[in-house]
Amino acid sequence: MKSNLALIYRKLYACFGPQFWWPAQSRFEVIVGAILTQNTSWLNVEKAIKNIKAGKYMSPKKLYNLPDKKLAKVIRPAGYYNIKARRLKNFLKVFLKYYRGSVSRMASVDVKSLREELLEINGIGPETADSILLYALEKPVFVIDAYTKRFLLRHRFIREGSGYEEMQLLFMKTLRKDVNLFNEYHALLVRLGKDFCLKAKPRCLVCPLKS
DNA sequence: GACCAGGCACATC
DNA sequence: GATGTGCATGGT
């Protein structure tokens, strides 16, 4: 028998269709977006990314070589710009040193080592690491974000206080480990959250899961 | 004007 | 190990 989570996925997909995540022109841009979107609306991140492109800085070396103040100024619309400038550089330092700024080279390493390596970087937590792994490096890792957590809580898949790894395991143990499935599922949960009942203060229209 | 958004690190108890 | 706080913009 199919798990509830698998059924819910089918329902969401039938309702919303493919979400075409991650919205970006390159895999490197996905990584930049993953760091910039920490606790920030995607609309603001888009403005920051637009600024980066306008200055022709969308490359590992160019971003890394920007003075901190300048980088902060460029990504300002994304909020927390001083912290995020540092976090970007923390990642870029590792990315340039070990992978010469190549996403493909990085993707050739096994997932487990990569995840550990990413989590070692100051400013990269579990969600950002997993977003990078799934959406930029195309590794079958499920991303847990605020929407996903609210979804699991409100549909009673977990209890209050459950940790990140616990929630992640729920998806990864039940579903087939498929990059496309994980990609679409998480994107659909965010879509559900934005449109319907997973906001911090739900203003519930008719939830598509109930029909 | 308050609240929220595709988190994370650090201080303190 | 749990809980609180700073980081900051822009849309609703």
Q: Where are the domains of chain A?
A: 4-20+142-210, 27-136
Question: What is the full per-residue pLDDT of chain A (211 aa) written as tens digits?
Answer: 467 999 999 999 999 999 999 999 999 999 999 999 999 999 999 999 999 999 999 999 999 999 999 999 999 999 999 999 999 999 999 999 999 999 999 999 999 999 999 999 999 999 999 999 999 999 999 999 999 999 999 899 998 889 999 999 999 999 999 999 999 999 999 999 988 756 555 555 566 676 6
Instruction: Determine the angle formed by the axes of helices A179-195 and A4-16, rounding to 10 degrees.
Output: 70
Q: Which amino acid is at A206?
A: V
CB A181 within 8 Å of CB A138: no
Residue with smallest Cα–C1' gap to C2: A161
Nucleotides of B under 7 A from a protein CB: 3-10
Q: How far is the CA of A159 from the C1' of B6 (A)?
A: 22
Q: Does domain A27-136 correspond to CATH entry 1.10.340.30? A: yes
pTM: 0.94
**Nucleotide with C1' nearest the A119 CA:** B8
Q: How far apart are CA A145 and CA A83, in angstroms?
A: 20
- What are the two backbone dihedrals, phi and then psi, of residue A186, each rounded to the nearest 5 degrees? -65, -40
Q: How far apart are CA A60 and CA A52, in angstroms?
A: 12
